Amino acid sequence: MSYFDSTLLTQFEGLETPFYYYNLDLLQETLSAAKAAADKRNFHVHYALKANFNPRVLEMVQAQGFGADCVSGNEVSKAIEVGFPASQITFAGVGKSDKEIRTALKHEIFAFNVESIQEMEIIDELAGEIGIRANVSLRINPNVDAKTHQYITTGLDENKFGLPNSELERAASVLRNCKNVDLVGLHFHIGSQITDMNVFKSLCVKVNEWKNWFEERGTQIRVLNVGGGLGVDYYGPDANPIADFETYFDIFDRFLERTPNQEVHFELGRALVAQCGSLISKVLYIKSGVKKNFLILDAGMTELMRPMLYQAYHKIEKVGASAEAEKANYDVVGPICESTDAFGKEVALPVSKRGDLIAIRTAGAYAEVMASSYNLRDEIRYFYAHQGQHDLVAP
């Protein structure tokens, strides 16, 4: 049985489409489950803001007591603005501008995740100018294959992220000469939408190795930040609405070697927010091509870009359809003037007509945040469902 049944069809009647639908009850359940599983093991979780910074989503994540993981100066400012404590904010990214570094320095965030030796020297210099000390974690590229889509793999030697192993000796020596920088930890983030739990075991092995490497050289490591990447079930949003946080954290608990006062930090994005969001769109036209039937929606890559950017799969459903409805195969496409503007090819859907509503599921992460105004499209709307209350927010 789909979540988007005839009850929701009634609720959506007369609403202007497209819009993001956020199930805030599911979000709350997910956040509580993650928080409980982390707290039990004394783990710290930073929420990766880039996954979704919709106002109410962000408010709920903050209220749950997570820290924030930012990848731009504006995200740092946003995190502060919505109430994340500066002492729980990390800042990663291969290309931090001077302006962004100054912003983060002024807020005295918890730590910069430093991705190159040159960046470390610049942070040292800018911190010196302002007259404060900066905490840094070294982002190490551990050369672990995340076994996810190549476009969202970040921890291999050929990826641009983090310090390659060959540079660590030099990084450690440069660090000793930096007068305004303190090393607090090691940072790793190997990719996203990781569903093979063995990948996280391999990561633990690498983290242990590098931690020992530093400790053997007399450098104490307070924080082991293992990044994010926990995947969700794009094929079964109703069967598996909440990621398996217990199993995930348990792997790190069992396989990471820690001294008693060493902290373990995580940066979860997708697993916290992906399943609470869906994109609701209306069928504009049905076009029967030479070889294909096209279902043309009023939403496209300007509202949800993941299928076009990463060849990502999203489950597509007709809102309020009965399970027995007769099916047909459609290429589900958007209105944007690009051939890649398709959500799915040869999708079996209940026979549809102009005006029917379509739900594109698992669109809470890396979705609304990537909306663009290409083709001068309208700004995106969103609809919140929370404890029997609904709210459509239009721009």
Ligand X SMILES: *Cc1c(COP(=O)(O)O)cnc(C)c1O
- In the complex, least distance from residue 71 CB atom to ligand X, rounded to whole angstroms: 5
CA distances from 122 to 90, 132, 184, 235, 284 (A): 17, 14, 17, 44, 52
Residues placed in the known binding site: 229, 267-270, 306, 310, 338, 366
Nearest to 253 by CA among 32, 33, 65, 43: 43
E strand intervals along 4-110: 19-23, 44-48, 67-70, 89-91
Residues placed in the known binding site for substrate: 270, 306, 310, 338, 366
Residue type, 125: E
Interface characters, 66-105, with ligand X (x: CB under 6 A): ---x-x--------------------x-------------
Residue number with CB closer to ligand X (193 or 352): 193
Residue number with CB closer to ligand X (189 or 211): 189
Residue number with CB closer to ligand X (51 or 333): 51
User: How far is residue 155 CA from its own chain's centroid?
Assistant: 16
Check: CB of residue 206 under 8 Å from CB of residue 212.
Answer: no
- In the complex, least distance from residue 153 CB atom to ligand X, rounded to whole angstroms: 11
- In the complex, least distance from residue 218 CB atom to ligand X, rounded to whole angstroms: 27
Any residues with CB less than 8 A from the CB of 131 and at least 6 apart, and which? none
- In the complex, least distance from residue 46 CB atom to ligand X, rounded to whole angstroms: 8
How long a stretch of residues is the chain? 395
- In the complex, least distance from residue 88 CB atom to ligand X, rounded to whole angstroms: 14
Nearest to 191 by CA among 227, 224, 229, 232: 229
Contact call for residue 115 and ligand X (CB under 6 A): no
Contact call for residue 300 and ligand X (CB under 6 A): no
Residue type, 198: N
Tokens of 51: 């996954």
Instruction: Give residue for tokens 């709210």.
Output: 391
Interface characters, 197-236, with ligand X (x: CB under 6 A): ------------------------------xxxx------
Residues placed in the known binding site for pyridoxal 5'-phosphate: 229, 267-270, 366
- What is the footprint of ligand X within residues 171-200 (CB under 6 A)? 189, 192
Residue number with CB closer to ligand X (228 or 277): 228
Which of 44, 50, 318, 377 lies at the binding interface for ligand X (CB under 6 A)? 50
Residue number with CB closer to ligand X (160 or 345): 160
The values of phi and psi at residue 74, to 5°, are: -65, -35
Interface characters, 123-152, with ligand X (x: CB under 6 A): ------------------------------
- In the complex, least distance from residue 93 CB atom to ligand X, rounded to whole angstroms: 7
Contact call for residue 267 and ligand X (CB under 6 A): yes
11 by Cβ neighbours in 10 Å (0-12 / 13-18 / 19+) ranks as middle
Which of 45, 134, 178, 268 lies at the binding interface for ligand X (CB under 6 A)? 268
Nearest to 135 by CA among 163, 111, 102, 159: 111
- In the complex, least distance from residue 334 CB atom to ligand X, rounded to whole angstroms: 24
> What is the C-alpha to C-alpha distance for residues 120 and 136, in angstroms, rounded to an integer?
8
Nearest to 384 by CA among 77, 15, 37, 89: 15
Q: Which residues bind ligand X (CB under 6 A)?
A: 48, 50-51, 69, 71, 92, 189, 192, 227-230, 267-271
